[in-house]
Structure 1
Amino acid sequence: MPHRRFTAGKLVVASHNEGKVKEIRALLEPFGVETVSAAELDLPEPEETETTFTGNAELKALAAAKAADMPALSDDSGLAVDILGGEPGIYSARWAETGEGRDFGVAMTRVEKEMCEKNGGPDGNRKAQFICALTLAWADGHVETFEGSVAGALVWPARGTRGFGYDPVFQPNGHKVTFGEMDPAAKHAISHRAHAFEQLIDACFAHKS
């Protein structure tokens, strides 16, 4: 079945995460797409009840598309740590919940603590990957979903203040800096989100001239 092409000039970025919204806007900018975030439209955040990145990305994109009556793009992504059996995975943001908002310093400390417990210390298996499912949805219920990933290892202590979430502890394979230390343009070129985005562009958007 052929992919549906995006022909509108504007879409909703179905996220209240300012870091994600900023990255997605930067990726869409070359294609002349106007974006507005779910937070700017005061759209409610739907409960993420699915058990996969793809399921949650589709749930969020469809909710925003129907509420705003325009196409919506949603990202569901997270950190999957090998020694932790893929956790925190789809619960990556929830590991940062403190009762007073999200604190990824707390989440990164928990990941390191549980890794050390499993490894019997700070050495051992530190492999991890970021995974991203990206869904473009229309108000009529049609969805197009693509998944990307990037492999690396976790470092401790955290390094860098760029990016967001778990970026300061994730060092992608082939690099000596973490996502938290990396120039945003360099991160965009290799990230899990970029890999999913490339597939989305090929399938649904007009290519850059």
Structure 2
Amino acid sequence: MSLEFVLATHNAHKVGEFQRIIGQRMPQAVVVPYDGPEPVEDGVTFAANALIKARAAAAHTGRIALADDSGIVVDVLGEAPGILSARWAGHGAGDEANRRLLLDQLSDIARPNRGAEFRCTIALVVPESLLPGGSEFVAEGRWRGTVAYEPRGSHGFGYDPIFEPDGLEITAAELLPEQKNAQSHRALAFVELLPELERIAELVGPASA
């Protein structure tokens, strides 16, 4: 019997990536997209925003909820864009505009100073209706690399085409999905989350998860 977890996002790319990452480690798990209202993400950290989204999804659906908040942090920019990564070029600007603005801001910065990392925080929230007292857990993953000079690759999304992971000479968007999902910030966060996810799944059972 499958285990279902609602993923608090309307981003189809994230739903697919989560399903692949979870499926590799918990074959019985199914990621269900969230169809409820989006909460105001007014936290000032990745963890705070992930919890805001997971709590909202758990409350709306009455199911175990997962949510991630992630982005790119650039050393020379004082860890910006950070939590503003998705709207760096303005609300609704989109991935291409965000990448273009970041590259423009780094246009005069030489490679030794283009260090950056992807960060992902995943929040797990279990409502009290499924587990007395409820439960919350937060996991984090970090993927170090360098900001490229121009976009390359057609896989991935967001800042993947301009992020070169440490030890590689290609961008995250040039990696095959299975390669990315073995080493990405989201995969690393999930590795930390997995024991808690398995514990909760045993407590609430397949019918409720």
TM (norm. structure 2) is 0.86
Q: How does 1:60-71 map to 2 (within 5 A)?
A: 60-71=53-64
Write the distance in 1 (CA, Å) between the matches of 2:160 and 2:146.
Answer: 11
1:142 aligns with 2:135: yes
1:126 aligns with 2:114: yes
Asked if the contact 1:148–1:193 (Cα under 8 Å) also holds between the matched residues in 2, the reply is: yes
Q: Which amino acid aligns with 2:85?
A: S
Q: How does 1:30-45 map to 2 (within 5 A)?
A: 30=24, 31=26, 32-38=28-34, 41=35, 43-45=36-38
Residue 23 and residue 123 in structure 1: after superposition, are their counterparts in 2 closer, same or farther (change >3 A)?
same
Q: 1:5 corresponds to which residue?
A: none
What do the CA deviations read for 1:139-186 (whole angstroms, capped 9, x no partner)? 225211101101000112100110000000000000111011101111
Q: 2:189 corresponds to which residue?
A: 196
What SS class does the counterpart of residue 88 from structure 2 fall into? helix
In structure 1, runs of 5+ residues without a counterpart are 1-7
- How far off its partner does 1:34 sit? 2.0
In structure 2, runs of 5+ residues without a counterpart are 129-133, 200-209
Write the distance in 2 (CA, Å) between the matches of 1:24 and 1:205.
Answer: 16
Q: Which amino acid aligns with 2:184?
A: S
What SS class does the counterpart of residue 162 from structure 1 fall into? coil
Moved more, 146-155 or 106-115: 106-115
Q: Which amino acid aligns with 1:123?
A: A
- How far off its partner does 1:17 sit? 1.1
- How far off its partner does 1:102 sit? 4.1
Identity of aligned residues (%): 38
1:104 aligns with 2:95: yes
What SS class does the counterpart of residue 32 from structure 2 fall into? strand
Q: How does 1:47-58 map to 2 (within 5 A)?
A: 47-58=40-51
What do the CA deviations read for 1:64-91 (whole angstroms, capped 9, x no partner)? 0110000010010000000110010000
Alignment length (residue pairs): 191
Q: 2:23 corresponds to which residue?
A: 29
Asked if the contact 1:96–1:105 (Cα under 8 Å) also holds between the matched residues in 2, the reply is: no
Asked if the contact 2:86–2:94 (Cα under 8 Å) also holds between the matched residues in 1, the reply is: no
1:180 aligns with 2:180: no
Asked if the contact 1:104–1:166 (Cα under 8 Å) also holds between the matched residues in 2, the reply is: yes
Greater than 6 Å deviation, 4+ residue runs: none
Write the distance in 1 (CA, Å) between the matches of 2:136 and 2:31.
Answer: 18
Q: 1:3 corresponds to which residue?
A: none
